[in-house]
Amino acid sequence: MADANQATVSGLSHFPKNATHDVTTSAFRSQFISQIEPKYAELARARVLYAANNGSAAGLGDVEAIPTTTATYALYNNSDTKHLVVLKIGAIVTDVTPALGWGLIAGLSPTAQASAETKYANSLALAITPGSPDPGGYLTDAVTLAGTPLWMTLGSSNGTLLGTSITAWVDGLFIVPPKFALGIDIVGSVGSTPLYDVDILWAELELELG
């Protein structure tokens, strides 16, 4: 036997905000939940989904040790009100093949950047859905992060060919507050000089942290 409870819609839904509708539960009060739409369809429909990549900007090299505060790439949040909820980070070898394997790492600045970071020239930051507001986030390079982040390993590859890539679906693990930066780096081997492009997918949402 199933019971019907009620839930209140908070937003990002085709139901009117603050309306109530039934939520079905089992006799043990477990909710019956089924996601009908594709994973990111609601974010795209709400026009809050964005991505950035190198565009026509040159790929950048790797580092040979875990960095401290210097990031080769960073996603900077120039918005005053919205948080960047990072969904995906990727990297691809675009020039010169790595001698050995390589890894993708990322870390969020512990505090806000002292001033706005400069957009990496010729890089792209665009909305996924046409008609969306301009993005608050964009790609930067050679960034000194405000404090030493906790660098996290997102993936590794032993591929040594052009086009070898790593894709990390982080699905909200990193939330970049206004004026903060998410550092991104590739850790590679000594003695090779490959170049890498990166791409990032995120949602821009007004959130209350804590």
**pLDDT one-digit tens code per residue, 131-181:** 999 999 999 999 999 999 999 999 999 988 899 999 999 999 999 999 999
Higher local confidence (pLDDT), 26 or 193: 193
Best CA proximity match to 46, nearest among 164, 205, 207: 205
Best CA proximity match to 147, nearest among 181, 106, 103: 181
**Domain coordinates of the chain in residue numbers?**
3-34, 43-205
Q: 55-77: per-residue pLDDT in tens? A: 999 899 999 999 999 999 999 99
Strand boundaries in the chain, DSSP class E: 3-8, 20-25, 49-53, 70-77, 83-95, 102-108, 124-127, 137-144, 152-157, 165-169, 175-176, 181-187, 195-205
Pairing mode of beta strands 102-108, 49-53: unpaired
Q: Output the pTM of the full model.
A: 0.84
Angle (CA) 144-152-193 rounded to 5° is 65
Query: What are the φ and ψ backbone dihedral angles of 172, each rounded to 5 degrees?
Result: 90, 5
HSE (side-chain half, CA atoms, 13 Å) at 88: 16
